[in-house]
Amino acid sequence: MKYTNRYRPLHRLAAAAFLLAGASAPVFAAHPGDPDGDFGLGGYVTSDFFGTDEQVYALAAMRDERFVAVGKVTGANAEGPGGSENVAVARYLPDGSLDASFGSGGLFQLDIDGTSDEARAVRVMPDKGLLVGGSLSTDAHGDFGLVKLRANGTLDTTFGEPDAGSARKGYVRLDIGGPTIHDNAYAMATQRDGRIVLAGVTRVLHDNGFYYAHVAVARFTTQGVLDTSFGSGAGYVVLPTFLGDNADVLTGIALDQAGNLGADDRIVLVGYTFARNNAFIARLNANGSVDTGFGTGGQVLLQAGSSGGVQTGMSILAAARLDARGRIVALGEGNDRGLTLMRFNANGSLDTTFGTAGRTTVKYSGISDYDEPGALALQGNGKIVAAGYATNRTGTSPNSDFFVVRLLADGTPDPGYGDGQGRVVASFTNQNDGAFALAIEPSGNALAGGFQQRQGANGRDYALLRLIGDPDRIFAYGQEVPGTFD
């Protein structure tokens, strides 16, 4: 593994010179943005479970400094015939080793019927059990899926679809579009009374004879039963497409750093319209109705463009968070091909006090290359951390590498982080790596998760990177929030 940083501070180079000369090197304190040497191998951890395609989509930190990484693996277990993509939930100890007291050697996987299943979201419950959201397939077609695990990594048989006797299966599926339509969930939240919101897309037939992806949102009770008081009695709502006959992509629900919805349990949805240079933010009331007090008719539309030679807007919105004042911090990309962040007031208007006229782009690669956004997190001191991948040309060929960026609360790059411009680029291999998930741990360190391309073979492995945070322990909004790190 190698750590790549074009602008590595000179005091670390000086230490290397002392070592090469045989002298005693001075001891330097860890710098925010440095890989944590106490984690895995020099700050890096990879898990190759089955030698197939495996990657992390979401992370959750625990108060005892363990953490959970969810995504997908290709393997087999007793729940089905295997040989397909399965829901994967792995729990790790603080040093990055798998927690053998969880699941089977640290891993729980779920295969419903031998077709594709995956986890996209996770929440740690007060009893240290886990609520996992994603897609579970039925007869080769995806459905919205929720899985609940006990603290030891076994299915919670008080939750989900009925099973034999009074037991339940520990998971529940929702077929929105019908038995031949893929429904895929990508984001999850819990309301203050414990009811569970799951959001993603379904496909709807339009008048032109084509199916297009629409954003869909469903709600379940704490027992994993579809809540028919949500929406218009169906338990779910399907939104009109944002640009007519085009497909929409739901990328997230904006939560605060404690993992909670905003005021009155309103649901802020973010995403973009496929291949149409259009990103969106939409807000629903807690009952699934459109919040007409937000933006224009409950939505804010963004387009990437330029004004006076200055880039504006976004073409893709990849993630969003709610800050302590209820503002929406959004991560995406625009025509400048970097990690772009914008901030919006609670009513959907652009917060022009953020960055430059409400917008900041941080880029590592050259002007013709892409740096892609993946995930977003907030620190308790107001700093903003984003992750994804950067195009790195420092080797013999261009590769994608983990890219982590930190901004100050005002939207300017944090000069005290990484290379002095708020940037860290780290690579696991000399092939492609990238981050899809991000969490701020109780220590204040940043944990990024995604994939590393397997050396000399097809497939990907779980990849995790921990970066040193600020010196003080920083919890969500300055305090421990019950249910967040439990």
Classify residue 102 by its DSSP letter. T
Tell me the pLDDT tens digit for each residue of 376-398. 999 999 999 999 999 999 877 89
Q: Is the pLDDT of residue 181 over 50?
A: yes
So what's the pLDDT on residue 429?
Answer: 85
Of 435, 442, 420, nearest in space to 390 by CA: 435
Q: Are 278 and 315 spatial neighbours (Cβ–Cβ below 8 Å)?
A: yes
Tell me the pLDDT tens digit for each residue of 134-154. 999 988 899 999 999 999 999
Q: Is the pLDDT of residue 236 over 60?
A: yes
So what's the pLDDT on residue 397?
Answer: 84
Q: Is the pLDDT of residue 112 over 70?
A: yes
So what's the pLDDT on residue 3?
Answer: 36
Q: Are 69 and 90 spatial neighbours (Cβ–Cβ below 8 Å)?
A: yes
- Buried-exposed string 80-91: b where 16+ CB fall within 10 A, e elsewhere: beeebbbbbbbb
So what's the pLDDT on residue 2?
Answer: 41
Tell me the pLDDT tens digit for each residue of 22-80. 334 444 458 999 999 999 999 999 999 998 899 999 999 999 999 999 999 987 544 44
- Average pLDDT value over all residues in the chain: 90
Tell me the average pLDDT across 167-190: 97
Cα dihedral: 440, 443, 444, 447 (round 10): -40
Q: What sign results for the dihedral spanned by CA atoms 223, 224, 229, 230?
A: positive
Classify residue 239 by its DSSP letter. P
Tell me the pLDDT tens digit for each residue of 338-367. 999 999 999 999 999 999 999 999 999 998
Structure tokens at 315: 């073409």
Q: Are 253 and 196 spatial neighbours (Cβ–Cβ below 8 Å)?
A: no
Of 363, 273, 350, nearest in space to 316 by CA: 273
So what's the pLDDT on residue 119?
Answer: 98
Tell me the pLDDT tens digit for each residue of 427-444. 998 889 999 999 999 999
Q: Are 197 and 267 spatial neighbours (Cβ–Cβ below 8 Å)?
A: yes
So what's the pLDDT on residue 240?
Answer: 98
pTM for the model stands at 0.91
Q: Can you give the length of the chain in residues?
A: 486
So what's the pLDDT on residue 472?
Answer: 54
Cα dihedral: 381, 435, 448, 127 (round 10): 100
Tell me the average pLDDT across 312-324: 97
Report the percentage of the chain scoring pLDDT > 70: 89
Quickly list H helices, 380-465. none
Tell me the average pLDDT across 8-15: 30
**More confident of the two residues 15 and 279:** 279
